[in-house]
Structures are given as structure tokens and as C-alpha cells.
Amino acid sequence: MHIIAALVEDRPGVLFKVTSLIRRRGFNIDTITVGGTEKEGLSRITMTMRGDESTVEQLVKQLSKIPDVVKISELKPSESVYRELAMVKVSAPDPAKRSDILNYITIFRGRVIDASKDSLTIEMVGSPKKINAFLELMKGYGVVELARTGMVALPRGTKSTSE
């Protein structure tokens, strides 16, 4: 997995330019998130994708040529902090199963954000591996609906992607 972080001008069409270049190069983006940064007028695009090292390096170089891209870098997973948010609606009409689900939520440090007599909606934050492990357990109970944000990441320590 490769994590690409790009600081871009916060203007219409910038995301389209970035994703179009990636599409033209035949890459598939696994996850993509976009949001504001600590600097007014800049947004951060965080993408994850698969591919060999040299191809991703070439892609990063090509993306840096887009005028609206202020800075782009690849974040090494071992040198980064990264998280994803998932909201999972699980079928839980049976009290015994509901109790089991609540125990799993506690073990995985999630939280219930909505409950009805037949379902629970759970918020889970963590690494993609953690979320995938939780989802695998929930399959047995019936995942009714799922929404995932994609990964956000920052370098560890004093390093910064905005320098």
C-alpha cells in the first residue's frame, strides 16, 4: 500500500485534475479523502493505492507538475500515523446477539452512535486492518449498511507534509 499526501490549492476542479491524471496513468485509487488544512486556502488530499515503487514515484513526480498542487509526497506507513472512520449498521433484533455485538464494540474500542430495536449503528476509528477485522466479525450478525471514509494520514513526530 502506498499513501500519497498532496497539499493543493482549495479551488474548484483541482481534485478532478489530480484524479484524471491518475486515471490516465491506469492507476486505481483504493481510498481518497479531501479536507481543509491548518493553512487557509489549502486542502489536503490523502490517497492510498497499490503499485510498484518506481511507478508510484513516477506518478508523484507527474502530480507535482500540476500547477494547483503545492506539495506532494509519499508517506511511509511505518513513519506515519493513519486512521480511517467506518460507520457500520448491524442487524441486532435478538437480545443475546445484541449483547455479543456490544462486547465486540467494547473490545475494538468502537461506540454505538444509534440504536433501534432491530439494529445498532457503530462508529469505528482505527487502522484499516482493525476495521476489516471488526467487519469480519460483524458479517455473522448481518451488516445492513457500511460507510467508510478512506484513510487520513500525517507523518510521525516533527515532520510535516506542509513544509
**Tens digit of pLDDT for each residue in 121-150?**
999 999 999 999 999 999 999 999 999 999
> How are strands ordered across the β-sheet holding 111-115?
111-115, 119-126, 80-91, 143-155
Q: What pLDDT, in 10s, does the model give residues 48-74?
A: 998 888 888 888 999 999 999 999 999
Domains of the chain: 2-75 (3.30.70.260), 82-154 (3.30.70.1150)
Where does the pLDDT of residue 157 fall: very low under 50, low under 70, confident under 90, or very high at 90 and above? confident
Q: What integer is the mean pLDDT of 91-102?
A: 95
Which pLDDT does position 46 carry in this prediction?
A: 95
Which pLDDT does position 56 carry in this prediction?
A: 87
- % of the chain surpassing 70 pLDDT: 99
Beta-carbon-side half-sphere exposure of residue 38 (alpha carbons within 13 Å): 5
- % of the chain surpassing 90 pLDDT: 81
Of 13, 153, 4, give the one whose Cα is nearest residue 80: 153
